Structure 1
Amino acid sequence: MTIANHVGIHASQIVDVYEQIHTMEALTINPDTMAVFDRFLSLLSNEHGSEFAEQVLAQDKIRAIKPQIQHLFSLASSMYERHWAQRLVSSNTPQKVLQTEYPYFKHYQRATGLEINAINSLAADPVNRVLMVGSGALPLTSLALHNAGLQVDNLDIQQDDLLLGKQVCKALSADNQMGFIHSDICEQADLDRYDVIWLAALVGDEQLKDKIIAHLYEHMRPGAQLVVRTAFNLRTLLYPSVDEGGLAPFQLKLKIQTYADNFHSILIAQKPV
């Protein structure tokens, strides 16, 4: 079988599973639904090489549904986070539920640990205060940053998710001193107090991300770092991606392309001093 045949078959499989999800009567969190999503995610694995991925992404049938896939994945991700947030808030043993039942706990630990090590290695001065943009209903990154000794503020445009996330943080870390800000990041001007700002992968589409990055550059202090969670290869079907050029005029300091079970890749940039 030729490479072109493999590409065509893979693209058709992606479309077929997307249609299966898209035509569900209701998008709910249950074993059957999650099995379909797991199959879909496996088709978009970062383990596929760049050349193969580029050819799949160039298929007309894939290009035609890319915006719909990103929208669907954003909705599903939000629903999934709310589902687990409610479970944690209502549990008498939230730490146990998180560490033994939540499927992506180790992923968050590894990914955030990697980011923390990177920003500390790149920083000229100690990192103290950070902002998580798009903290959501399940702010596990924020908790990891807090547990690493950082002063954390959480910002989200969705008030219900922000309040649920605050409950999750209270359940998992009763004495936390994190801040919670209900706002549009593009309306926040007091960003020069942060040493590092994290930008969640699902914050905005490509066009809005450009606007957000321009706003951050205008209001962050010189020397502060920006951590952008993004995607490459077939994962760009799930997340609005940002490449190196999209970070200008920030200076790119580190690019981490993750594989296997990691969902996002990482760009770390700095506002020039």
Structure 2
Amino acid sequence: MNISNQAAIHATQIVDGFEHIKSMSTLEITPDNMATFHQFLDLLSNEHGSEFADNVLAQPQIQKIKPGIQQLFSHASSLYERHWAERIVASDDPNEVLGNEYPYYKHYQRATGLEINAIHSLADEPVKNVLMVGSGALPLTTLALHNSGLQVDNLDINGPDLLLGQQVCQSLSPENEMTFIHNDICQQGNLAQYDVIWLAALVGDESLKNKIVAHLFEHMKPGAQLVVRTAYNLRTLLYPSIDEQGLTPFQLKLKIQTYADNFHSILIAQKPV
């Protein structure tokens, strides 16, 4: 069977999986629902090669449902983060819940560790102050940045998620001195104080990301770095992606295109000095 036929079959499986999830009476975090989601995510594995992925993405039925998949994944991700955030805040031993019960804890440690090592390696001056845009209800990146010795501010457009994220950080690291800002990043000033700005994968759709990048370039200080979490291949069906050209006029410094599942891809750019 040639790659075009394989891609057509795979596209049909993606459509069927998406329609099945949409048909659920309620979207809740239950073991059965999570099993269904994992089966669907397996269809969008990073391990598929670029030629196969391009053929799948070119299928008309995939292009038709792409916005719906991204909307569904964003909603499901928010529910999942809130579920675990509430468990952590309510627990008598929040670090135990995070370290031994939350399924993606080691993933966040590894992925954020990779980013932290990269920004220190690429920086012209010592990195001290960072802003996490889209910190959310479960700000594990925030905590990793804080635990690495960085001064972290958090920004999110969703007020309830931001408040819950602040409670999570207080539960896990009571002595933290982090700041939590409720705002739209495109309305946020004072960005020149940051050495690095992180942009979460689910912040903005593909058209809004261009506006965000333009705002950041205008207001960040020369030499500051921008870390963008994005996606390639079939993972672009989940995340609103941005490519190297989308970061212009930032100067691209590093591109990490991952092929391990559950890892986002990473772009690191710098505002020219």
Normalising TM by the smaller chain, what interval?
over 0.9
Deviations 1:169-209 (A, max 9, x none): 00000100000000000111100000000000000001100
Whole-Å separation in 2 of the counterparts to 1:24 and 1:232: 28
Q: CA deviation at 1:2?
A: 2.2
> Amino acid of the residue matched to residue 264 of structure 2?
H
Deviations 1:115-161 (A, max 9, x none): 00000000011100000000000000000000000000000000000
Aligned partners of 2:111 and 2:263 also within 8 Å:
no
Deviations 1:51-99 (A, max 9, x none): 0000000000000000000000000000000000000000011111111
> Amino acid of the residue matched to residue 198 of structure 2?
W
Task: Determine the structure 1 residue equivalent to 2:205.
Answer: 205
Where do residues 72-87 of structure 1 align in structure 2 (5 Å cutoff)?
72-87=72-87
Aligned length: 273
> Amino acid of the residue matched to residue 27 of structure 1?
L
Task: Determine the structure 2 residue equivalent to 1:184.
Answer: 184
Q: CA deviation at 1:261?
A: 2.5
Whole-Å separation in 1 of the counterparts to 2:189 and 2:260: 38
Aligned partners of 1:70 and 1:240 also within 8 Å:
yes
Whole-Å separation in 2 of the counterparts to 1:162 and 1:262: 24
Whole-Å separation in 2 of the counterparts to 1:5 and 1:257: 26
Q: CA deviation at 1:50?
A: 0.2
Whole-Å separation in 2 of the counterparts to 1:3 and 1:203: 33
Task: Determine the structure 2 residue equivalent to 1:169.
Answer: 169
Aligned partners of 1:251 and 1:271 also within 8 Å:
yes
Whole-Å separation in 2 of the counterparts to 1:160 and 1:189: 22
Aligned partners of 1:235 and 1:263 also within 8 Å:
no
Equivalent position SS for 1:255: strand
Task: Determine the structure 1 residue equivalent to 2:233.
Answer: 233
Task: Determine the structure 2 residue equivalent to 1:257.
Answer: 257
The sequence identity of aligned pairs, in percent, is 74
Task: Determine the structure 2 residue equivalent to 1:71.
Answer: 71
Equivalent position SS for 1:154: strand
Task: Determine the structure 1 residue equivalent to 2:45.
Answer: 45
RMSD (Å) for aligned C-alpha atoms = 0.6
Task: Determine the structure 2 residue equivalent to 1:27.
Answer: 27
Task: Determine the structure 1 residue equivalent to 2:220.
Answer: 220
Q: CA deviation at 1:3?
A: 1.7
Task: Determine the structure 2 residue equivalent to 1:153.
Answer: 153
Q: CA deviation at 1:220?
A: 0.1
Equivalent position SS for 1:175: coil
Gapped runs of 5+ residues in structure 2?
none
Equivalent position SS for 1:202: coil
> Amino acid of the residue matched to residue 258 of structure 1?
T
Aligned partners of 1:230 and 1:264 also within 8 Å:
yes
Q: CA deviation at 1:263?
A: 3.3
Task: Determine the structure 2 residue equivalent to 1:116.
Answer: 116
Q: CA deviation at 1:26?
A: 0.5
Task: Determine the structure 1 residue equivalent to 2:88.
Answer: 88
> Amino acid of the residue matched to residue 180 of structure 1?
F
Q: CA deviation at 1:262?
A: 3.0
Q: CA deviation at 1:240?
A: 0.3
Gapped runs of 5+ residues in structure 1?
none
Aligned partners of 2:47 and 2:261 also within 8 Å:
no
Equivalent position SS for 1:142: helix
Aligned partners of 1:222 and 1:271 also within 8 Å:
yes
Q: CA deviation at 1:259?
A: 1.7
Q: CA deviation at 1:8?
A: 1.0
